[in-house]
Chains A and B, each alone.
Chain A
Amino acid sequence: MILKGKVWKFGDNIDTDAIIPARYLNTSDPKELAKHVMEDADKEFPGKVKAGDIIIAGTNFGCGSSREHAPIAIKAAGIQSVIAKSFARIFYRNAFNIGLPIFESDEAADKIEQGDEVEIDADKGIIRNITKNEEYTAKPMPPFMQELISAGGLIKWTKKKIKTSYQPT
């Protein structure tokens, strides 16, 4: 899987209230949520972001609430991937569960700048900065996470599991 797009850069500890403020959580419609993505981190962001773009952030991206609305809003806005130095754990599992590929890389988070064009080779964990002609490595994606992404998320994975081994009582 190759993901290519333009970068929007954010800082450390971007919390889920910044990604999708709770005042919009009276719906779970992805299109509605996408209209407010990252609004409390950058008010103009929902108007600026384009399908195919990529988010780069610092440490602890997605901290705070368990709301799956956060990765859903990001995905529904057409953002292909998030690269950060680290992710808060519930955001991390939510992203994989809904099939949003995310990557951890200190180097990429430090060196990539706003507006750079990057290309992610998801299978190899290589991030290429086309603008700067540099290459960074992401932490390898654990095999189970790869399995979830290639199954298309946890629901499809569970569906497969139920069919093969699980017997409801």
Chain B
Amino acid sequence: MTITEKILAVHCDREEVSPGELINAKVDLVLANDITAPIAITEFKKIGASDVFDKNRIAFIPDHFAPQKDIKAAEQCKMLRDFSKEYNLGLYFEVGRMGIEHALLPEQGIIVPGDLVIGADSHTCTYGALGAFATGVGSTDVASAMATGECWFKVPESMKFIYYGKLNRWVGGKDLILYTIGDIGVDGALYRAMEFEGETIRSLSMHARLTMCNMAIEAGGKSGIIVPDEITEKYVKERVKRPYKFYTSDRNADYIEIREYDCSKIPPVVACPHLPSNVKPAAELFEVTIDQVVIGSCTNGRIEDLREAAEVIKGKKVNPNVRMIVIPATQKIYKQAIKEGLIEVFIDAEAVVSTPTCGPCLGGHMGVLAKGERAIATTNRNFVGRMGHPESEVYLSNPAVAAASAIMGRIATPEEII
């Protein structure tokens, strides 16, 4: 069996499961945010359950339109707050204690290897980087799981991606996953578990693994997963508060498809409008001028991402035609960035630094685009209207390319700067 099948089997008390089977499995953690929790709360109340299944296994994180951007958003955030008080939830994260959910929960050690996690947010697949099975679901799924502690799943087929070779300078997890999505398309892994492995992955640090698994959904994947190893062990042992278990894939496990990539041939890449699969080398896009740069999100808002951007922009200025917005993904990351002097680097470069929020990634607030404007962002989607006006455009890249572009006022590579 694959790691995915093993985790699913354990959570429905079975020896084994096979792709295609429908199972009802126990969940270790259920999460929702200020967009999706309000529907989950309304639906949960309709069930008429006397209580939630476990008050310490439900995480509510207001991060999308928080700090509350308008009255309607404030009403939605209040629903999370009120429900969390009413049911005494142990994992409610108020503004000031919150962060972008998929950066916050691994950082706080709330998700552990071997977990089965569902979240009413499509980027829940991020946690596969820890060797957990994690997948995005809808609000009604969350409502039902809050009552029963269970969720229905179709066991996915697994698709293996093997990465080998040395990474080029300024190439990271974002480039590997964009390159992969560019290869297989936005539905190339539809309904499937994407298992990332190979020598390059084994030496890839946790933040880059989180970035890769985060974007599995952009290829249609049900989940992304990496078999845990020493890097996982080191990351989780200083954080987790629960026992955890490492699962591996058997040598004879079945994969519906196996693809291999020679990483030495992958340059820094950019996904062009309006699909994450529309991937081109950054060096072929120098004619594309930009109005805004966003560095942040659940994909690339971690401390290592900020370090990478700061390294490129240190001592330089943001181009006069560009607005650069930096959003540390959690309070802890923000504080660390202050300590390391990164925030000073950004402010000296005339970038703006925001409190943690998903904000502009989904065109919510803190950097919405006007008609005809163009942004390069370290976020995860470049659909029509994603960051604002339906006639605006979003290009997706890694933090170093985004920072270089901020300086040049057009899509650029870090080599041009450093």
Of the candidates A27, A40, A161, the one whose C-beta lies within 8 Å of that of B384 is: A40
| A114 contacts partner chain B, Cβ-Cβ < 8 Å | no
B residues within 8 A CB of A90? Answer: 122, 136-138, 217
B283 near A: Cβ within 8 Å?
no
Q: Does A101 contact B (CB under 8 A)?
A: no
Q: Give every chain A residue within 8 A of B372 (Cβ-Cβ).
A: none
Beyond the given pairs A17-B384, A22-B362, A69-B39, 4 more chain A to chain B contacts, judged by CB atoms under 8 angstroms and listed by A's residue number, are A17-B383, A23-B388, A25-B364, A65-B121
Mask: chain B, 60-77; 1 = CB below 8 Å from A; 0 = not: 000011000110110010
Most buried by B among A13, A26, A97: A26
**Complex contact B140–A13 (CB within 8 A):** no
Binds A, one of B143-151, B249-257, B307-315, B331-339: B143-151
Given A64-B383, A68-B120, A168-B53, is A158 in contact with B35 using a C-beta cutoff of 8 Å? no
Number of A-B contacts (CB under 8 A): 152
Which residues of chain B have C-beta atoms less than 8 A from A35's C-beta? none
| Chain A 132-169 interface 0/1 with B at a Cβ cutoff of 8 Å (1 = within) | 00000000001010000000011101110110001010
Option from A63, A65, A94 in Cβ contact (under 8 Å) with B362:
A65
Complex CA gap A136/B271 in Å reads: 37
Give CA–CA (A153, B148) in the complex, Å.
16
A53 within 8 A of B: no
Q: Is A67 an interface residue (CB 8 A)?
A: yes
- B363 adjacent to chain A (CB < 8 Å): yes
Interface string of A46-79 (1 = CB under 8 A from B): 0000000000000110011111110010000000
B385 CB-CB contact with A under 8 Å: yes
Q: Is B386 a contact partner of A17 (Cβ separation < 8 A)?
A: yes
> How many angstroms from the CA of A168 to the CA of B149 in the assembled complex?
10
> How far is A22 from B22 in the complex, measured between Cα atoms in Å?
32
Q: B213 interface residue, CB < 8 Å from A? A: no
Q: Is A21 an interface residue (CB 8 A)?
A: yes
Query: Residues of A contacting B143 with CB < 8 Å?
Result: 154-155, 158
A67 to B42, CA, bound (A): 15
Residues B364 and A22 in contact, CB atoms below 8 Å apart = yes
B220 within 8 A of A: yes
Instruction: Report the nearest B residue to A63, measured CB to CB.
Output: B186
Total interface residues in chain A, CB < 8 Å = 45
State the CA gap A168–B50 with chains docked (Å): 7
Given the complex, which residues of A lie within 8 Å of B42, measured CB to CB?
A: 28
- Choose one: A13, A22, A166; the contact of B148 (CB below 8 Å): A166
Could you say which of A65, A86, A161 contacts B122, with CB atoms under 8 Å apart? A65
Does any Cβ of A come within 8 Å of B174's Cβ? no
Assess whether A112 is interfacial by the CB under 8 Å rule: no
Contacts A/B (CB < 8 Å), 19 sampled: A13-B186, A15-B383, A22-B363, A26-B73, A27-B76, A28-B42, A40-B385, A63-B187, A65-B362, A66-B36, A66-B122, A67-B36, A68-B138, A90-B217, A93-B138, A154-B144, A159-B47, A159-B48, A162-B49
Min CB–CB distance A121 → chain B (angstroms) = 24
Nearest-neighbour CB distance to chain B for A157, whole angstroms, equals: 8
Contact between B49 and A168, CB atoms less than 8 A apart? yes
A126 at the interface (CB under 8 A from B): no
Q: Are B152 and A26 in contact (CB under 8 A)?
A: no
Instruction: Say whether B299 faces chain A, with CB atoms less than 8 Å apart.
Output: no
- Residues 296-328 (chain B) with a chain A CB within 8 angstroms: none
User: Is A144 in contact with B22, judged by CB distance below 8 angstroms?
Assistant: yes
B128, CB-defined interface residue at 8 Å: no
Chain A CB count within 10 A is highest, among B121, B122, B147, B217, for: B122
A60's closest neighbor in chain B, by CB?
B187
A158 contact set on B, CB distance < 8 A: 47, 143-144, 147-148
Q: In the bound complex, do residue A26 and residue B141 qualify as a contact, i.e. CB atoms below 8 Å apart? A: no
Query: Which residues on A sit within 8 Å (CB–CB) of B390?
Result: 21, 39-40, 43
A-B pairs with lowest CB-CB distance, top 5: A94-B138, A26-B72, A60-B187, A22-B362, A68-B138
B77 to chain A, nearest CB (A): 10
Q: Which residues of B contact A28 (CB under 8 A)?
A: 38-39, 42, 76
Task: Report the separation of the CA atoms of residues A27 and B75 in the bound assembly, to the nearest whole angstrom.
Answer: 9
A66 to B39, CA, bound (A): 12
* Closest Cβ–Cβ distance, residue B27 to chain A (whole Å): 14
Contact yes or no, A17 B381, CB < 8 A: yes
B43 at the binding interface (Cβ < 8 Å): yes
